[in-house]
Structure 1
Amino acid sequence: MNSNETPGNPKSDTTNTVVVETSLKQMEAVHHGSQSGEEVDIKTLSSASYVSWRGYAPPNRVTGWVNVVFIIMADLIGTGIVNLPETFNRMGWAVGVVILTAFGLLTAYAGLLLWRLHMTYHDGVTYGNIAKSVSGKALMWLAFVIVYTHFFMKMANYLLAAAKAIQVAFWMKDVCLYYATLATLAFVVPLCQLRTLHQISYAGAFSVLMISITILLLLIQAYTTWDQIGAEGVEYNPLPKESGTKGFLSAFSAMTSLVFAYGGQGMYLETMSEMRNPKDFPKALSIFMSIIIALYLWSSLSLYFRYGDQTYQYVLFNMGDGAIKTVAAVCMFLHVLVSFCLNSQLLTRAIQVRLWPGSVNSEDKTEWLKWLAISGCTISLAWLISNAVPFFSDLEGLISSICVGPTTFGFPALFYLLACRQQGKRVPIHELLACLTMCFIAVFFVLVGTGVDVYQIVENSNTFGKPFTCILGSISK
């Protein structure tokens, strides 16, 4: 929930609210990129035309589209990529390539839909605002719950990823997972005191550099040891290895983990709300999605064909022991810290606006202390979740089923269809089919995927260790 959200305010529809909605002509102009029709006034987007409520302070529009590329890539590239080779092993590499590419294209389209909605509803700087504009409060609250649950669960996942990076870095020692997560807290708490996405965008550039080094070292290690494949007895499978119920559960769980790699839509609207010119968002979208899809395919296929059926859930464990492995793990650790901070900032700001709206953007000691208190509580809860579900790919799958399916595919498509109906706009048949497909994916993931992932978590807890036990790096691979 960003600082402009207004759920629960009885006056938000009357005296304290200024809502600016574009006409049908404006929506079509944004949709088609046409110069005809009335242009959207960018100055209006950064003024009091947002919903105002209880001391609301709009986000400062200072972020350029290049910064946006770094913000999104810092969140998307990382924990998903280190799990992709193992998902290919469970679902088959041929099936994995098709699904990874298809979901990537749908993700890019979902980003475009969110941009159209943001340019149509000027108070649409969060999923909740858009939901209220196109439907009402029931859908608004559903969006709020899922989106901010997503941010929180991703914090737990990133904490787990950072802890596993520590285990990899200290490959010569057996480090308990919960000790590694505690050590991570010493780094994330100070970093999470950054209070705007614009500030974090500069850390995002550093984060992209760190994950790039990690991927490069992973690939160098894979390519330089390629001649060992025969001696290691590596095998490949283009299709799921197992059939029947067990095969379905394993492959479907792998697919939900794969979708996690694209789960960044939850922060698109917030990011647009800080852009100097949100018209430039499609430019950033085309760049970072092209890079991400190509990078995912290249790295996951290279690593899978190096390690095959011996791929670990956290692929850094596949690297041979030595200095390169330690450097790769340290770079991954630094990258994950920034990803954690991105999601923490969005969640902390949302809570701050609800509890102490008058202190938002005050830049004084009081605001800093309140921010510290909120972020400290959410980080502590994320630590509990990361140790309660200590299995990396299973936690990713659970997040994907509950949150990524709706936020990445379901909400953008549903909100767009509702907006077009509200505006009296006809949706082309190919876009209608794409939107309906995305809605089906979201519902299927929530209903079926959640159950499958919970089953996998229970199975792994019986095999590798119960929550909050000392899961060592040597057995948590």
Structure 2
Amino acid sequence: MESFGNRSTRTSAMEDQISRVFLRRGSAFDAWLTATTVQVAQVLLTLPHSFAQMGLASGVVFQLLYGALGCWSCYMTTSLYADYIWILDSQKLRKENHIIQWYEVLEALLGRWWKALGLLFNCMLMLSAATIQLVACGNTVWYINDNLDKRTWTYIFGAICFSTLFIRMARNYHLWMFLGVFMTSYTAWYMTIAALFFEKHQNAVHTGPTSSVEYFTGTTNIIYTFGSHALTLEIIEAMDQPRKFKFVYVYAILYILTLTLPSAISVYWRFGDKMLEHPNALAVFSPSKFKTIAVILMLAHQIIEFAAFIVPVFAMWEKMLGIHHSNNQTIKYFARIPIVLIICLFALMLPFFGSINSVVGSFLSSIAVYILPCVAFMVIRQHEESRENAIEQPPIWIFNSWVGVYCINLGIVLWVAIVGMGFGAWASMYSLFHKVERFGLFSKCFECNKL
């Protein structure tokens, strides 16, 4: 009996430990789930197209580069967040159930003009990211059911997305994030295995970059792929130990690279230049039950990611209306309706799968995710007092050097400004205008005759 009791105790302890790791909201694992889920969904399907635009070598290098830059910009954001939290705690100003967002950190540390920049670009980026998920739903489902056109499918999934009105906050979203990681992983490895072993495409040609427009359009799609899409603080705010997020995000990026690199490389290797015609990689795969499962899982993931992006926008909107701390959830639900309607309108107006990613990456991701955090950090840390009192000191791998931090920040700002906002914006807008000229606004079925 004693042995049985000990065994029961050990079993109960193990169950409690598993429960804490996998089910407890606010844990580091929970943050990893969220960061990984929101990092890549439909963009996974566009990367083989980007590789065809850029060539294999450039595609791999740019993924590794922007993965690293995304980790660094996340580190800058968390460093400034730590300073802000210290101010709130020291002055006992922290409010219960208040979700701290990036623009509030900028306002407290740099003033109202920086607040306006943070609010504008983060809000626009998250609205655009949510719009992209809705466009992807209408586009992706068509590959397993073309009885309805893509615009009609967008109407249907737009109606489904209205259910996100009833999500209160990020902590209410744990299980869905767990499923999101599984869904992305299945789709990535389905494409990899199917491309390597089951799909047959003779004499695939790999031209590589065919024009500067194609090349820089591809680079901006990869810019959009990384950087947490301006959700860094919203994920941190759901954590019990926020300072761990800088490590959590690195692990998330490393895992994402195990999905994006094999799938993009294998699909491009198998189909070559054919991918230039298909922004959605699922278009080139033969019908099968495994493809159907991948489409269904991606649709579910895109709805999950839609909600992940829209909930922080709801919080911003509620703060502007002065109802963020209200206990009346019904008022909040009704106040959120215009946000979802605006997203549905833009998804129907610009249903150009892939091209939208590049435009958002060049204009919004470049500024909100990479440039703004690095510039804000340099401005704040220009004073010796700020450097001495900083909660996060420079990392040991650059010898705890503030000069090293400034050099990295300046390099990121210049690179992203020139390559992302400069050449990338020119190329992505040229591509988008070409699509609008060819298919028109509110296109009924974008690229439905290419299969």
Q: TM-score normalized by structure 2?
A: 0.83
Q: Could you tell me which residue of structure 2 aligns to residue 453 of structure 1?
A: 428
Q: Could you tell me which residue of structure 2 aligns to residue 310 of structure 1?
A: 274
Q: Could you tell me which residue of structure 1 aligns to residue 110 of structure 2?
A: 135
Q: Could you tell me which residue of structure 2 aligns to residue 388 of structure 1?
A: 349
> Does 2:133 correspond to 1:158?
yes
Unaligned runs of 5+ in 1: 1-60
Amino-acid identity (%): 16
Aligned ranges for residues 422-433 of structure 1 at < 5 Å? Answer: 422=383, 423-425=385-387, 428-433=402-407
Residues 139-165 of structure 1: per-residue CA shift (max 9 Å, x gap): 210111000001111111000011112
Query: Letter of the aligned partner of 2:30 in structure 1?
Result: N
Query: Letter of the aligned partner of 1:106 in structure 2?
Result: L
Residue aligned with 1:121, SS: helix
* C-alpha distance in 2 between matches for 1:378 and 1:91: 35
> Does 2:430 correspond to 1:443?
no
Q: Could you tell me which residue of structure 2 aligns to residue 254 of structure 1?
A: 218
> Does 2:202 correspond to 1:202?
no
Deviation of 1:442 (Å): 4.0
Q: Could you tell me which residue of structure 2 aligns to residue 107 of structure 1?
A: 70
Residues 190-238 of structure 1: per-residue CA shift (max 9 Å, x gap): 1442111111232111111122222222223212225x232xx31113x
Q: Could you tell me which residue of structure 2 aligns to residue 344 of structure 1?
A: 310
Q: Could you tell me which residue of structure 1 aligns to residue 335 of structure 2?
A: 374
Q: Could you tell me which residue of structure 2 aligns to residue 281 of structure 1?
A: 245
Per mean C-alpha deviation after superposition, the further-off stretch among 121-130 and 263-272 is 121-130
Q: Could you tell me which residue of structure 1 aligns to residue 163 of structure 2?
A: 190
Q: Could you tell me which residue of structure 2 aligns to residue 15 of structure 1?
A: none
Q: Is the 8 A contact 1:97 1:297 kept in 2?
A: yes
* C-alpha distance in 1 between matches for 2:239 and 2:126: 21
Per mean C-alpha deviation after superposition, the further-off stretch among 323-332 and 87-96 is 323-332
Q: Is the 8 A contact 1:134 1:419 kept in 2?
A: yes
Q: Is the 8 A contact 1:409 1:441 kept in 2?
A: no
* C-alpha distance in 2 between matches for 1:80 and 1:62: 27
Per mean C-alpha deviation after superposition, the further-off stretch among 419-428 and 262-271 is 419-428
Deviation of 1:428 (Å): 3.3
Aligned ranges for residues 15-164 of structure 1 at < 5 Å? Answer: 63-122=26-85, 125-164=100-139
Q: Is the 8 A contact 1:174 1:473 kept in 2?
A: no
428 and 403 in structure 1: CA distance in 2 versus 1, 3 angstrom threshold: same
* C-alpha distance in 2 between matches for 1:180 and 1:322: 21
Query: Letter of the aligned partner of 1:352 in structure 2?
Result: E
Q: TM-score normalized by structure 1?
A: 0.79
Deviation of 1:424 (Å): 4.3
Deviation of 1:476 (Å): 6.6
Residues 267-289 of structure 1: per-residue CA shift (max 9 Å, x gap): 11122122111122133123212
Residues 2-37 of structure 1: per-residue CA shift (max 9 Å, x gap): xxxxxxxxxxxxxxxxxxxxxxxxxxxxxxxxxxxx
Q: Is the 8 A contact 2:71 2:227 kept in 1?
A: no
How many residues align? The count is 400
* C-alpha distance in 2 between matches for 1:354 and 1:101: 38
Deviation of 1:265 (Å): 4.6
Query: Letter of the aligned partner of 1:428 in structure 2?
Result: W
Q: Could you tell me which residue of structure 1 aligns to residue 408 of structure 2?
A: 434
Deviation of 1:361 (Å): 5.7
RMSD across aligned C-alpha pairs, in angstroms? 2.1
Q: Could you tell me which residue of structure 2 aligns to residue 236 of structure 1?
A: 206
Deviation of 1:130 (Å): 2.6
Query: Letter of the aligned partner of 1:406 in structure 2?
Result: I
Residues 376-428 of structure 1: per-residue CA shift (max 9 Å, x gap): 21111111111222111110011111211112211221122122114442853
Query: Letter of the aligned partner of 2:159 in structure 1?
Result: A
469 and 296 in structure 1: CA distance in 2 versus 1, 3 angstrom threshold: closer
Aligned mate of 2:437, from 462, 469, 477: 462
Deviation of 1:473 (Å): 5.8
* C-alpha distance in 2 between matches for 1:314 and 1:350: 32
Q: Could you tell me which residue of structure 2 aligns to residue 23 of structure 1?
A: none
Q: Could you tell me which residue of structure 2 aligns to residue 219 of structure 1?
A: 192
Residue aligned with 2:445, SS: coil
* C-alpha distance in 2 between matches for 1:374 and 1:81: 33
Residue aligned with 2:173, SS: helix
Residue aligned with 2:133, SS: helix
Residue aligned with 2:74, SS: helix
Residue aligned with 1:425, SS: helix
Higher helix share: 2
